[in-house]
C-alpha cells in the first residue's frame, strides 16, 4: 500500500495517545493508495486486545462505501510486542480485502508499522502474508 508520511504519522500518534492500551482505526483511500486515517474507539480498552466500537465501525464503513472510497486497511497497535499478527489477530480477521496494519510501540522511540493480508480460514502457514508499505 502507498501511505503518505503524514498519514503514517497520524496512525503512530494515535497509537501513542492510547498507550498503554491498543488503538484501532480505519484507513480509507482508493485501491492501494491511502488518503485518510479514521481513528476509532477501542471498545475493549486494554493493552492486549482491540474491538472497534461497533457503531463507529458501522457508520464509518457506510461513509467510506457511500463516498465511493475503498477500505484500504484496518489498523491497530501492539504496545509490547512486535508489529506482527498474533494468533488472536488471525482468528478474528473476518476481512480479507483490506490490509491489517499493525503499529508496534515495543520500542517507543522507534515505532514500526507493517501491513499484512490475513486469511483466517486458510491452512496453517498460509494465513499471514506481509504486504509492502511505501511511505512517502
Partner 1 sequence: MSTVKIPPVLRQAVGGERAVDVAGETVGEVLTALCDQHPAVGAQILTPDGELHKYVNVYVNGEDARLLQWTDTPVGDGDTVMILPAMAGGAR
Interface residues toward partner 1, by CB under 8 A: 22, 24, 26, 44, 46-52, 54, 57-58, 61, 65, 71, 74, 76, 78-81, 85-86, 88-97, 100, 121
Nearer CB in complex with partner 1: 3/70: 70
Nearer CB in complex with partner 1: 17/134: 17
Q: Find how far residue 86's CA is from the centre of its chain.
A: 13
Placement of cell 495517545 in the chain: 17
For the chain, report the end-to-end CA distance as a whole number of angstroms. Answer: 11
Q: CA–CA distance from 119 to each of 2, 26, 73, 122 (Å)?
A: 21, 18, 14, 5
> What's the closest the beta carbon of residue 136 comes to partner 1, in angstroms?
27
> What's the closest the beta carbon of residue 32 comes to partner 1, in angstroms?
16
Bridge-based pairing of strands 70-78 and 99-104 is parallel
Nearer CB in complex with partner 1: 3/50: 50
Amino acid at each position: 500500500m502507498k501511505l503518505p508520511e503524514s498519514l503514517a504519522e497520524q496512525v503512530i500518534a494515535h497509537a501513542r495517545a492510547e498507550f498503554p492500551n491498543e488503538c484501532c482505526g480505519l484507513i480509507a483511500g482508493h485501491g492501494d493508495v491511502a488518503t485518510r486515517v479514521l481513528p476509532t474507539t477501542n471498545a475493549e480498552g486494554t493493552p492486549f486486545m482491540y474491538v472497534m466500537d461497533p457503531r463507529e465501525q458501522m457508520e464509518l464503513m457506510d461513509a467510506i462505501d457511500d463516498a465511493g472510497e475503498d477500505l484500504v486497511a484496518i489498523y491497530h497497535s501492539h504496545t509490547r510486542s512486535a508489529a506482527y499478527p498474533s494468533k488472536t489477530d488471525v482468528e478474528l480477521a473476518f476481512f480479507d480485502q483490506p490490509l491489517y496494519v499493525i503499529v508496534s510501540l515495543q520500542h517507543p522511540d522507534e515505532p514500526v508499522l507493517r501491513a499484512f493480508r490475513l486469511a483466517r480460514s486458510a491452512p496453517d502457514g498460509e494465513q499471514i502474508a506481509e504486504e509492502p508499505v511505501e511511505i512517502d
